[in-house]
Amino acid sequence: MTTRETVEKMPEKIRKQLENLRGDYKHPYMDKSETRARLYWYLVGLRDAGLITERERQTLFVYGTV
Question: What whole-number distance in Å separates Cα of residue 43 and Cα of residue 53?
Answer: 10
Residue-range domain boundaries for the chain: 3-65
Which pTM was predicted?
Answer: 0.90
For the chain, the residue count is 66
What does 5-50 look like in DSSP terms, one character per residue?
HHHHHS-HHHHHHHHHHHHHHH-TTS-HHHHHHHHHHHHHHHHHTT
SS3 53: coil
What lies within 8 Å, CB to CB, of 41 at 6+ separation is none
How confident is the model over 14-63, as pLDDT tens digits? 999 999 999 999 998 989 999 999 999 999 999 999 999 999 999 999 99
